[in-house]
Amino acid sequence: MRLKTLLLIVLVFVTAHGAAALEYVMVATQNTCLLFKVSGKKRLEQLYFGEKLKNAEELKMVNLPTSAAYSTFGTDHTFEAALRAVQLDGNTSTELVYVSSRTEKKSDNLVQTIVSLKDAYYALNVDMYFNAYQKEDVIEQWSVITNNQTKNVTLHNFASSDLSFSASSYYVTQFCGTWADEMNMKEQRLTEGIKIIDSKLGVRTNQFTHPCFLLSLGQEARENDGKVIGGTLAWPGSFQFCFEVDPYKNLRVLSGMNPYASTYTLEKGKSLKTPALLYTYSDAGTGLVSRRFHTWARQYGLKNGNGERSILLNNWEATYFDFDEPKLTQIIDDAAKMGFELFLLDDGWFGNKYPRNDDDAGLGDWQTNTKKLPNGIPYLINECHKRGLKFGIWVEPEMVNPKSELYEKHPDWIITQPNREMLTQRNQLLLDLSNPKVQEFVYNSIDKILTDNPGIDYVKWDCNRYITNSGSQYLPAAKQSHLWIDNAAAILAVMEKVAAKYPKVCFMECSGGGGRMDYGSMKYFDEFWISDNGDPLQRLFTQWGGQYFFPAIGMASHVSVSPNHISGRSTPLKFRFDIAMAAKLGMDLQPVQMTETDKEFSKNAIQTYKDIRSTVLLGDLYRILSPYEHNRTAYMYVSADKKDAVLFNFLVRKRIYPDNENVVLKGLDPQKHYTVREINRESYNNRSRFSEYEGKTFSGDYLMAVGLTFSMQNEYESVVIRIREE
DSSP 247-306: TTSEEEEEEEE--TT--EEE-TT-EEEPPEEEEEEESBHHHHHHHHHHHHIIIIISTTTT
Q: Are 150 and 87 in contact (CB under 8 A)?
A: no
Separation CA 113–CA 539 (nearest Å): 40
CA 369 from chain center: how many Å?
34
Is omega for the bond preceding 563 within 30 degrees of 0, making it cis? yes
Residue 462 a catalytic site member: yes
DSSP bridge partners of 186: 174
Beta strands in 492-643 (DSSP E): 506-509, 527-529, 555-559, 584-587, 620-625, 632-638
C-alpha distances out from residue 472 to 230, 364, 468, 558, Å: 35, 18, 11, 38
Biggest distance spanned by C-alpha atoms of the chain: 83
Q: What is the CA radius of gyration of the chain?
A: 27
In 3D space, the residue among 166, 301, 165, 177 whose CA is nearest the CA of residue 232 turns out to be: 301
Q: Are 351 and 407 in contact (CB under 8 A)?
A: no
Q: Are 117 and 70 in contact (CB under 8 A)?
A: yes
C-alpha distances out from residue 243 to 162, 188, 190, 226, 227, Å: 10, 12, 8, 20, 17
In 3D space, the residue among 556, 554, 527, 539 whose CA is nearest the CA of residue 648 turns out to be: 539
Residue 532 a catalytic site member: yes
Q: Are 302 and 522 in contact (CB under 8 A)?
A: yes
Pairing mode, strands 138-147 and 124-133 = antiparallel
DSSP bridge partners of 105: 111
The total number of residues shown for the chain amounts to 726
C-alpha distances out from residue 411 to 119, 422, 485, 576, Å: 44, 11, 22, 44
Separation CA 382–CA 57 (nearest Å): 65
Let me know the angle formed at the C-alpha of 419 by 417 and 422, rounded to the nearest 5 degrees: 60
Cβ neighbors of 87 (< 8 A, separation 6 or more) are: 93, 94, 119, 122, 124, 149, 153
Beta strands in 317-419 (DSSP E): 342-345, 390-395, 399-400
State the catalytic residue, choosing from 127, 432, 532, 644. Answer: 532
The three-class DSSP label of residue 7 is: helix
Q: Is 418 exposed, middle or buried (0-12, 13-18, 19+ CB in 10 A)?
A: exposed
Amino acid at 46: Q
The three-class DSSP label of residue 724 is: strand
Separation CA 374–CA 361 (nearest Å): 20
Separation CA 698–CA 676 (nearest Å): 8
Q: Are 485 and 239 in contact (CB under 8 A)?
A: no
State the catalytic residue, choosing from 119, 365, 462, 486. Answer: 462
194: which DSSP letter? E
Question: Any idea which residues carry the catalytic annotation?
Answer: 462, 532
